[in-house]
Amino acid sequence: MNELQLLTCSSIDLKWFQENSEKLRANYESQFVAIKNCSVIDADKNASILIGKLEKKGEDSNLVLIKFVTPKGEIVIL
């Protein structure tokens, strides 16, 4: 996958994450989710453990969008 394809896929997955944040919160509140092709492929409360799970599945964590699902009412300031 070239850099442009990677950026495009990441942008699409990020948009999907933002549009589905309420639905994701119902199942993954306070967890890190790994998203690929507009689908959650794994989740865990610990980012390091999630990355390990992805590696066991043969996924390159650098090619997967990993986001934290904040609890309802919480705001993340970057």
Q: Which helix (H) or strand (E) holds 4?
A: helix 3-19
- Closest-CA residue to 54 (of 68, 45, 44, 39): 44
Residue-wise pLDDT tens digits, 12-71: 999 999 999 999 999 999 999 999 999 999 999 999 999 999 999 999 999 999 999 999
Domain ranges of the chain: 3-68
pTM of structure: 0.86
DSSP-assigned states of every residue in 9-56: HHHHHHHHHHHTHHHHHHHHTTSEEEESSSSEEEEESSHHHHHHHHHH
Coil, helix or strand at residue 1: coil
